[in-house]
Amino acid sequence: MEFNVSQRFKRLDNSITSTIYEGILKLGYDTGHNMSIYYDLDLLNHLLDTSFQTNQECITYLMDYISEKNSESETCLIFPENGRFKFTVTNLGIEQILSQYKHKPFLKELVDLVRTHIFSVDDIYALFQKYSTEFVGEKVDHSEFQYVFYFNDIQFDEYKYCFNFDEIGGYYHRLLDYDFDKL
Under the banding of pLDDT at 50, 70 and 90, the label for residue 3 is low
Domain boundaries 7-101, CATH class: mainly alpha
Which of 147, 182, 175, 152 has the alpha carbon at shortest distance from 22?
A: 175
Tens of pLDDT, residue by residue over 71-82, are: 888 899 999 999
**Positive or negative CA dihedral for 54, 56, 57, 63?**
positive
pLDDT at residue 73, rounded to an integer: 84
Domain with CATH 1.10.10 in the chain: 7-101
Instruction: Give the integer Cα–Cα distance in Å for 81 and 85.
Output: 6
Average pLDDT of the segment spanning 24-51: 95
**pTM given for the model:** 0.91
**Does residue 58 contact residue 41 with C-beta atoms inside 8 Å?**
yes
The yes-or-no verdict on residue 152 having pLDDT over 50 is yes
Residue 128's SS3 state is: helix
How many H-runs (helices) and E-runs (strands) does the chain carry? 7, 7
